[in-house]
Amino acid sequence: MTETLTEEKVNEIAEAVAVDKNLLILGLKLGFKEPKVKMYISTNKRNDSSEGTSSMLFDWKRKTPRAKQIPDLIKALNESGFAELVDDFFPSGHAGGVATPAVNAGNPSTAASNAGNALSTKRKITPGEIIKLSKLLPPGKYNELGVHLGFDFNYMQAKLKKHLNDTKDAFEEVLGEWANKREGGFIDDLDEALDKAEVGALIDKYKIN
């Protein structure tokens, strides 16, 4: 039976998140566009409360199927710097009332080996593709796509300031850093982020065969 995300719990989470600096990232991870999240944040500031955060969570809850609410919220909280809230509100690391199994928990080396094998089957983005995608990316999607790739919003802003608000050069540097991470730079992950940022049309345009 699927566990229900109650109104009481949503309100408690909203109060716990309040006006945290990572609230924008949480909103993006929940599928809202940047201007919409900033509107919720401005409501918080205007009323000196968590009213905007609460509205955002309830708006998200209304459009999300019941079976996906808790798993999706746990994922968004973990990916936006609120992992401690997952421990507080969803103990035992479950998602949707179902315990998350620990794969090869008793043998870390086996788990690491399996993870390495999984990564090795995926293609990494090339320098040429980084340059091409940076030129194609609409400036308005710079922050959103960066967040979906796992970067902090403030970090993305710092890169943009460094490059004098030139999103092409800033994103080229961000993509280069992402590609150099052991767990980053994979085409499949990038395509997923492009879809989430609603620029999936670029998937077939930036790749160099």
Residue 156's domain is classified under what CATH number? 1.10.533.10
Distance (Å, whole) CA 151 – CA 159: 11
- Which of the residue ranges 91-95, 102-106, 119-123 has the most confident prediction, judged by mean pLDDT? 119-123
Which class for 73: exposed (0-12), middle (13-18), buried (19 or more C-beta within 10 A)? buried
- 85 and 11 in one domain? yes
Contacts for 88-93 with beta carbons within 8 Å, 24 or more apart? 88/16, 89/9, 89/12, 89/13, 89/16
pLDDT tens digits for range 65-90? 988 999 999 999 988 888 888 888 88
How much is the average pLDDT of 182-198? 89
Q: Is residue 117 part of a domain?
A: no
Which residue range forms the structural domain that includes residue 82? Answer: 7-93
Q: For all residues of the chain together, what is the average pLDDT?
A: 82
In a domain, 166, yes or no: yes
Q: Are 35 and 140 in contact (CB under 8 A)?
A: no
Q: What is the pLDDT of residue 161?
A: 93
Higher pLDDT, 96 or 77: 77
Beta partners for residue 124, in sequence order? 186
Angle between helices 167-180 and 153-162 (to 10 degrees): 120
Joined together, the tokens standing for residue 118 give 């999984």
| Better-scored residue on pLDDT, 34 or 111 | 34
Residue 67 sits in a domain whose CATH number is 1.10.533
| 103 within some domain | no
**Do 80 and 156 sit in the same domain of this protein?**
no
Predicted pLDDT of residue 174: 94
Instruction: Tell me, yes or no, whether 86 lies in a domain.
Output: yes
Q: Are residues 76 and 132 in the same domain?
A: no
Band of residue 102 on the pLDDT scale cut at 50, 70, 90 = very low
How many domains does one find in the chain? Answer: 2
Residue after which a domain boundary falls, among 71, 93, 115: 93
C-alpha separations of 155 from 38, 87, 136, 147, 161 in Å: 17, 26, 21, 9, 10
